Structure 1
Amino acid sequence: MLALAPDAGSARAARGLANPRTWSDLGSTSSLVWGKCQGSARAPYQVTVDLTEPSFRCTCPSRKFPCKHGLALLLMWAAGDGSVTEDAGPADWVTPAAPRREAAKPDPEAQAKRLAERESLMSAGLDDFELWLHDLVRQGLATARRQPPGFWETAAARLVDAQLPGLADRVRAAGADIHARADWAPHLLGELGRWYLAVRAWRRRAELDDAAMGDLRTVLGWARRRDEIGDRVADRWWVVGLSQEEDERLLSQRTWLHGERTGETVVLLDFAATGQALKVAQVLGSVVDGEVARYPGGPPRRALLAGDEHKVTPGSGLPHATDVRTALGQAARWLARNPWLRRIPLALAGMTVVPGDPPLLVDPTGAALTLAPGTDVWQLLALSGGHPVPVFGEWIDERLHPLSVQVDDRLVAL
């Protein structure tokens, strides 16, 4: 995309501006991307990119075309990290020409051409990534640990340029984990295997069913438009866990729902640039009666609340909690279907907190799960009173990150 830059200086400036902290009112549709960038002027610059050409519009005084603001907006959209949200229509301030373009009938031939170009770019990027993986393994894991941060960042940047932001995020995370984890070697080896599996799966994507292709697109970072999410199911959805994470660029929020009738667990994802407000989350412990639209993929699936009306009533705890063996058996089945799954929701019944190094949660059968580093064990002990309680959490890297605990008939966030 930086090939569109009028000169090298504009390309460098665009990379520096491709940070959600300097932007507001970001949004996109299938053919438009828009946002406001805070520059040297009092009012932020209004930036629009028409993806069909592409063409750029910006209220900044720059005489370069496209300007650094338009290029930066395009880079953030291509990264697919959630900072540029998907909307039903353009914002009111978007240039008047944009709504007319948005209403125009899509050109199937042009869409097919863009799809083929993207797949070709991704294929070339994955070919290059495979060579990088071979070199890394051939040199040995110990050599990988001695690599400077720029080694991992360069590989991630090349993946972003190939429109593979999901893999890029994993490479960056591995570069940090290799110095932060005591079990860095087996962890890195597992990641290398999952990355290589993604490369091989892409080459055989024609053989994948819709669910497997959905999981592959997720790990690669190929986002879907909201109008593509049409697999709806109605149920009474129990809000069983909430989690937020923040890095230097993005604030993310996960809301775990469990269907009373379907028995299905889904996750709602919301994003905002760091320093900006997130969408108000559903209330922990409540029950949302209505439809969700599920993304293609294996369970547990990402979903969106569908429709305009959702009746919300109080709930009463974790009705689907099980023992450790049953919960891990379900997790194993999910992982067999989707080996790239990173967060697995576990609803556990009758768990007793056992402080120690490491701290544990133990069920009535004696089966135990290790609590993740950073867990507030004393808060868990205080809320449980030392008695067995139901707990909901995310199983990540064979550690449980507890998100909520049932106290009497209500869920309390951790």
Structure 2
Amino acid sequence: MTQQGVRWTADQVLALAPDAPSRKAGSKLGVAGPWSEAGSTGEGAVWGLCKGSGSKPYQTIVDIADVAGPAYKCSCPSRKFPCKHALGLLLVWAGADGTVPDGGEPPAWAEEWLAARRKRADAKQGSAAAPAASADPEAARKRAEKRAERITAGATELEQRLSDLLRGGTASAEQMGYGLWEETAARMVDAQAPGLAARVRELGAIPSSGPGWPVRFLEECALLHLLDQGWLHRDRLPDGLAATVRSRVGLPAQAEGPPVRDRWVVLAQYDTADSRLATRRIWLYGTESGRTALLLSYGAAGRAPALALPVGLALDAEVTGYTGAGQLRVELGEQFTAPAPTAQRPPGVRPEEAAARYGEALGDDPWLESWPVTLAEVIPTRAQDPRDARDARGTRDARETRDPGSWQLVDPVTDSALPLAPSATSRPGLWRLIALSGGAPLTVFGECGHRGFTPLAAWPKDSGETVSLC
């Protein structure tokens, strides 16, 4: 199930939850009371019966050793993966109190599901080994050229709209309303450039985003113009940057090149969603290569992506990188062992070096929102509010209030700091980070970008256990 029979921690189990309500509901089922006939094998399966509101208990089974992350099966009607019963079962198993003993034989209903999974895995491996059916390269080339022509037409039209807007002044954007931007985004969808469409929608939302919007609006216009020009002159760009432009415009990228085998530590996992798509980001760190890599998986709106890996564990696996300058995205390949606990973690840097790394990454990808970094020995501290300054009488205007969300990570040695991103200050992970620190330095992994630093995981001093902040 895991190497040397070591079970996961409760935090590692809860990191698999698709959302906060599932995490809360699963925690309530993470006790022995509702469970019966629970057991586990040494090959990675955990099963049990959970008492529900009906006359029949729910049959729940989890395949922990699956190559793409844990796989789940439950007879409940939930459409979430994992459901609250799977989370509860794993929590009971993680408790190691004897409720879920090792070395058992799965019941017939569990063995049937496991056997079907093994059969599908064997069939998939066989089909992968078979030579691929020959496609028509000429037809594929013509389709690619036709799409490129449509994107070029869309980018040219978008350039004209940006020119008209700036010629009339950015102040007019506030009166234009969102309808015109949605129409422009629809035109980019028709041009088969979903990346351009997404950026146009973001641009249209800026005039209603609060104080300081003209600056943000002009910055986004400049980035959109840069992407347009990158596409229109892609033949003059270096190969890596040209691949980045194609990906940003919305053309599908592919994992290419030889696979890299390493012992990959799962640093963080979190989901983002819009009305169309749910995206899961999983950050990995190769303990031998020193490489940080990103796994992306997608699900339809309202459905969690299928790929899930427990934070803090390490897996011996192969990954294949995607094309593009400075590209961190990889595709998970063959997994040689089940995920197991590890005390290894990435080396940390000072805040000033973290900001410099993000700056260097922008040279390869000017549209990059953030860059993964690990900060060593930093302390979460409330940022100094200029309004805290006292007047000559030592008093302060009672009408002025401190911004409660203004926090930063400070290096106590160099006194350098990184501000936390506004989105990070509204997440429960911030208070967990503060409590974990208790005023003492700790190591923090997260994403450093132009909006600030977003903490995703932390390690207290002299501790190898990864604490998820997502």
User: TM-score scaled by structure 2?
Assistant: 0.63
Residue 320 (structure 2) aligned to one of 287, 293, 296 = 293
- Is 1:369–2:418 an aligned residue pair? yes
Q: How many residues get paired?
A: 313
Hey, which of these two has a bigger chunk of strand by percent?
A: 1
Matched letter for residue 299 of structure 2: A
Residue 300 (structure 2) aligns with = 273
Q: 1:182 to 1:239 in 2, by over 3 A?
A: farther
Residue 438 (structure 2) aligns with = 385
Is the 1:389–1:406 contact (alpha carbons within 8 Å) kept by the matching residues of 2?
yes
Q: CA deviation at 1:392?
A: 1.3
368-377 vs 155-164, greater mean Cα deviation: 368-377
**Two-structure CA RMSD over aligned residues (Å):** 2.3
Is the 2:357–2:371 contact (alpha carbons within 8 Å) kept by the matching residues of 1?
no
Q: CA deviation at 1:307?
A: 2.2
Matched letter for residue 415 of structure 2: G
Larger relative contact order (CA 8 Å, sep ≥ 6): 2
Residue 173 (structure 1) aligned to one of 190, 199, 202 = 202
Q: CA deviation at 1:167?
A: 1.5
Distance 1:250 1:344 in 2: 22
Distance 2:408 2:132 in 1: 57
Matched letter for residue 295 of structure 2: L
Q: CA deviation at 1:317?
A: 5.7
Larger Rg: 2
- Is 1:124–2:149 an aligned residue pair? no
Is the 2:318–2:335 contact (alpha carbons within 8 Å) kept by the matching residues of 1?
no
Q: 1:256 to 1:104 in 2, by over 3 A?
A: closer
Can you list the C-alpha shifts for 1:235-286, whole angstroms capped at 9, x where unaligned? 2222212221122222111001122232222210011112324224211112
Distance 2:311 2:264 in 1: 11
Q: CA deviation at 1:117?
A: 0.7
SS, match of residue 281 in structure 2? strand
Q: CA deviation at 1:308?
A: 4.7
Q: 1:300 to 1:265 in 2, by over 3 A?
A: farther
Matched letter for residue 338 of structure 1: D
Matched letter for residue 380 of structure 1: L
Matched letter for residue 362 of structure 1: V
SS, match of residue 268 in structure 1? strand
Q: CA deviation at 1:166?
A: 0.9
Is the 2:409–2:417 contact (alpha carbons within 8 Å) kept by the matching residues of 1?
yes
Q: CA deviation at 1:339?
A: 0.4
Q: 1:223 to 1:310 in 2, by over 3 A?
A: farther
Is the 1:231–1:295 contact (alpha carbons within 8 Å) kept by the matching residues of 2?
no
Distance 1:322 1:183 in 2: 32
Residue 407 (structure 2) aligns with = 359
Can you list the C-alpha shifts for 1:267-318, whole angstroms capped at 9, x where unaligned? 1001111232422421111222221111101224211111253553322263
Can you list the C-alpha shifts for 1:5-57, whole angstroms capped at 9, x where unaligned? xxxxxxxxxxxxxxxxxxxxxxxxxxxxxxxxxxxxxxxxxxxxxxxxxxxxx
Matched letter for residue 363 of structure 1: D
Residue 307 (structure 1) aligns with = 334
Residue 345 (structure 1) aligns with = 372
Is the 1:298–1:338 contact (alpha carbons within 8 Å) kept by the matching residues of 2?
yes
Structure 2 residue runs of 5 or longer lacking an equivalent are 1-119, 124-130, 384-402
Percent identical pairs in the alignment equals 36
SS, match of residue 146 in structure 1? helix
Matched letter for residue 271 of structure 2: Q
Residue 457 (structure 2) aligns with = 404
Residue 330 (structure 1) aligned to one of 352, 357, 361 = 357
Can you list the C-alpha shifts for 1:357-409, whole angstroms capped at 9, x where unaligned? 31111113111111122244332211212211111112233311211111322
SS, match of residue 306 in structure 2? coil
Is the 2:264–2:287 contact (alpha carbons within 8 Å) kept by the matching residues of 1?
yes
Q: 1:4-403, aligned counterparts within 5 Å? A: 105-225=134-254, 229-316=256-343, 318-356=345-383, 357=403, 358-364=406-412, 365-373=414-422, 374-376=426-428, 377-403=430-456
SS, match of residue 336 in structure 2? strand
User: TM-score scaled by structure 1?
Assistant: 0.71
